[in-house]
Structure 1
């Protein structure tokens, strides 16, 4: 999938199916993640991180660069770009914002806004070892293909919730990251 093919599918007027998120009783803490699509001209890949193993919450989990919106952030886009620079050294001038996906609420009490951006290749990854164990890329075509998605259902408070999994080589993308990828997939492949 090229940048032009992605844009044709991403910017449209149709209603898009959204995966079920966690129904928070109160407004969640605002957070933002960057969906960094590395543009190689003839293909796109998505940059993902493996969270540091010593972290208290979600150690070793695969995620997008991102985190809570802070008071100094002008908004969710600013927060997503700031977090990407802090976590993986992504310079803001390498990112071209495409848009965002609808918010996704998590069981941990966050309301995440996924921000989609094209990234110029060639920047030097500088990971923050306090937050990031490793950084890697996956072909966008692979993660958007719902044939590669696995779904497990869990039960909480007499309700059933799906948990999504996307295997890639020796890694497993799951939880909110996989659900956000599925929402992007519904946008691109209705």
Structure 2
């Protein structure tokens, strides 16, 4: 049986590999991005919780009242503030604000390459291991719900599929890795696939 320590070891190896970043557009080579666009740095936390049956990843469902990505499944995170010492600090601060995760209760394992979003951010995924008992307390202005998904579901390439829709007159393709009532897609699924690809090496 695969245990949480085994999965943590696999994560450490995956994070040690080199690789390039990703974007919301890299599955759609026909999309032309505007020259000179300005991208803002952001950080998200992939918080893994250890259980008797293996790791589980905490995800959120964003508030439907938000300007960007309302109602979508996402990692806790947001744009970097001037007071953040680095992008890891951003991810930890945002997770604390959005789901009540104390930064001192997170062991940062590493980070993945940046991901460019359609909303003009370069997002750095920071992977962390929650080191104490944790019950999410969501910030209702930003988060509608916090829930967990099994490590195996979001790290197995066979669970991912690509779908498409028209966006600004062009077909744009994106990753999905749905689970039950949760439609995990777009940037969140694309970053998870990047992790899954590393784990498969």
TM-score, scaled relative to structure 1: 0.89
Contact 2:7 2:55 in 1 (8 A): no
Residue matched to 1:151: 162
**Residues 1-190 of structure 1 correspond to what in structure 2 (within 5 A)?**
1=2, 2-8=4-10, 10-11=12-13, 14-16=17-19, 19-22=22-25, 25=35, 26-40=37-51, 42-153=53-164, 161-190=172-201
Contact 1:100 1:116 in 2 (8 A): yes
2-structure distance, mates of 1:168, 1:144: 13
Contact 2:176 2:185 in 1 (8 A): yes
Contact 2:22 2:114 in 1 (8 A): no
Contact 1:17 1:186 in 2 (8 A): no
Aligned residues: 190
Q: Deviations over 1:8-49 (max 9, x none)?
A: 354256555765544674341000000001112540010000
Post-superposition shift, 1:121? 4.6
Post-superposition shift, 1:171? 1.1
